[in-house]
Amino acid sequence: MADKATLTIDGKSYEFPIITGTEKEQAIDIKTLRGATGGITTIDPGYKNTGSCESAITFLDGEKGILRYRGYSIEELAEKADFLETAYLLIFGELPTKQQLDKFHADIKSESHVDEDMKKILDGFPKSAHPMGVLSALTSALIAFNPSTVNVDSEEDMYAAIVKLLAKFPVLAAWAMRKKKSQPLDYGDNSLGYVENFHKMMFAKPNEEYKVDKAVIEAIDKLLILHADHEQNCSTSTVRIVGSSHAGLFASISAGISALWGPLHGGANQAVIEMLEAIKEDGGDTKKYMAKAKDKEDPFRLMGFGHRVYKNFDPRAKIIKVAADDVLTQLGIEDPVLDIAKGLEKEALEDPYFVDRKLYPNVDFYSGIIYRALDIPVEMFTVMFAVGRLPGWIAQWREMRLGKEPIGRPRQVYTGENLRSFKEVSER
């Protein structure tokens, strides 16, 4: 494997080291490029070819459809681990011992309340507010109620901030849904597991005993694990870049939530179900929508298809497809939308447009179907994604701060006007 790359500009050669990751991925280290060449930079809109950091958290191989957290395959974690264990693994690097896990859970429980004044902020939102906007704002508001700065050189401080956020985030997420539905807030029950407690805070009725099917909690747990990290995607890069200015953990995560909201990223799960419902309303003609997706004059895209890095298949989509089937069977639900989804998938996998462009169903193609079966409102789908992604964001923020990474500040190539003289308004 080469360990150096040579760049020649105007007959002058510059050498750059090539670094190799533990999975033999290679990258040209251009840290010295501008200095050596007297100011030449690189340009790579969308960062399709640019590594922003070295990271030991998540490995994915888009060609082979591999996804691993800290070296463990997503398939094995989805089958054997629970969400909190996965969160600990992502954030601290190793699977927790029984003692560590019990302590982690107990510490989270002891922080699983938010300041009552947060309710006043929640009350200020109109009912029509999207829960992602509410969640981002409330997460940011947590700073005001937990103002102490985190000393990143102190393991204790770091741990305390992480536990606080993991504990309070599901409360805010559940309350964002309650607000939308004009329902009284629920304070959870610390005798329950993390995911079950989150579910209770979303669904418990004040005048009824809270009961839930085990299959429901298992399905949510699995979905949260599958969403827990995905290396340097748009929202994670946002968390890292905001955090690189030494903005605090809560502020960085709040920014990540905003990034995740977009329909090209986490917002796709909502967009998928809305698309599938629209197709159903329109008579279920999947061929018509396939044609629209391929028509370059038509802005319509097949939501839930394609991925920036998976150019073979999304391993999470495979697991979720089976989980969607399982959950619907176990809960005895027949969903015509699932049939439309399967029909679209089959057609796309046989269609040269999708095959040539390596467009396969992504994680969000099936997650919405499960959420729908669990009575989770469509506007909450991306919030569910955020709850799942939280440990990944925290792990990446922690790694970035412990690694003493410099502030993120990309360059540009300026293409605007050259220097010109100001004209008085009467002369314009």
Catalytic residue selected from 82, 186, 221, 364: 364
Q: Does 364 bind ligand ACO (CB under 6 A)?
A: yes
Told to judge if 130 belongs to the known catalytic residues of this protein, a careful annotator would answer no
Only one of the segments 189-197, 216-224, 260-268, 376-384 lies at the binding site for ligand ACO (rule: CB under 6 A); that segment is 260-268
Residue keyed to tokens 């981002």? 136
387 is a contact residue toward ligand ACO (CB under 6 A)? no
Asked if 389 touches ligand ACO (CB under 6 A), the answer is no
List the x/- string, 309-348, binding to ligand ACO by CB under 6 A. Answer: ----------------------------------------
By CB under 6 A, is residue 357 in contact with ligand ACO?
yes
The site that binds ligand ACO (CB under 6 A) totals a number of residues, namely 18
Question: How many Å apart are CA 167 and CA 111, to the nearest integer?
Answer: 6
Q: Does 288 bind ligand ACO (CB under 6 A)?
A: no
Of the listed pieces 179-187, 265-273, 370-378, 403-411, which binds ligand ACO according to CB under 6 A? 265-273
Binding status of residue 305 toward ligand ACO by CB under 6 A: yes
| Residue 232 engages ligand ACO in binding (rule: CB under 6 A) | no
| Closer by beta carbon to ligand ACO, 113 or else 301 | 301
Binding flag, residue 273, ligand ACO (CB under 6 A): no
SS3 sequence of the chain: CCCEEEEEECCEEEEEEEEECCCCCEEECCCCHHHHHCCCCCCCHHHCCCCCCCCCCEEEECCCCEEEECCEEHHHHHHHCCHHHHHHHHHHCCCCCHHHHHHHHHHHHHCCCCCCCHHHHHHHCCCCCCHHHHHHHHHHHHHHHCCCCCCCCCHHHHHHHHHHHHHHHHHHHHHHHHHHCCCCCCCCCCCCCHHHHHHHHHHCCCCCCCCCCHHHHHHHHHHHHHCCCCCCCHHHHHHHHHHCCCCCHHHHHHHHHHHHHCCCCCCHHHHHHHHHHHHHHCCCCHHHHHHHHHCCCCCCCCCCECCCCCCCCCHHHHHHHHHHHHHHHHCCCCCHHHHHHHHHHHHHHHCHHHHHCCCCECHHHHHHHHHHHCCCCHHHHHHHHHHHHHHHHHHHHHHHHHCCCCCCCCCCCCCCCCCCCCCCHHHC
Q: Confirm or reject binding of residue 225 to ligand ACO (CB under 6 A).
A: no
- Identity of the residue, 104 or 385, whose beta carbon is nearer to ligand ACO in the bound complex: 385
The catalytically annotated residue of 307, 326, 351, 375 is 307
Using the contact rule CB under 6 A, the part of the chain among 218-226, 300-308, 401-409, 411-419 near ligand ACO is: 300-308
113 near ligand ACO, rule: CB under 6 A:
no
Least separation in angstroms between residue 319's CB and ligand ACO is 14
Q: Distance from CA of residue 94 to its chain's centroid?
A: 21
Site for ligand ACO (CB under 6 A): which residue of 40, 56, 264, 291? Answer: 264
Cβ contact 148:277 at 8 Å: no
252 counts as binding ligand ACO under rule CB under 6 A: no
When asked if residue 199 is in the footprint of ligand ACO (CB under 6 A), the reply is no
241 belongs to the binding site for ligand ACO (CB under 6 A): no
307 in contact with ligand ACO (CB under 6 A)? yes
Give yes or no: 307 in active site: yes
Residue 278 in the binding site for ligand ACO (CB under 6 A): no
Q: Give the residue closest to ligand ACO by C-beta.
A: 306
Residue 301 interacting with ligand ACO (CB under 6 A): yes
* Chain positions contacting ligand ACO, by CB under 6 A: 264-266, 268, 293, 301-308, 357, 359, 362-364
As annotated, the active-site residues are 307, 364
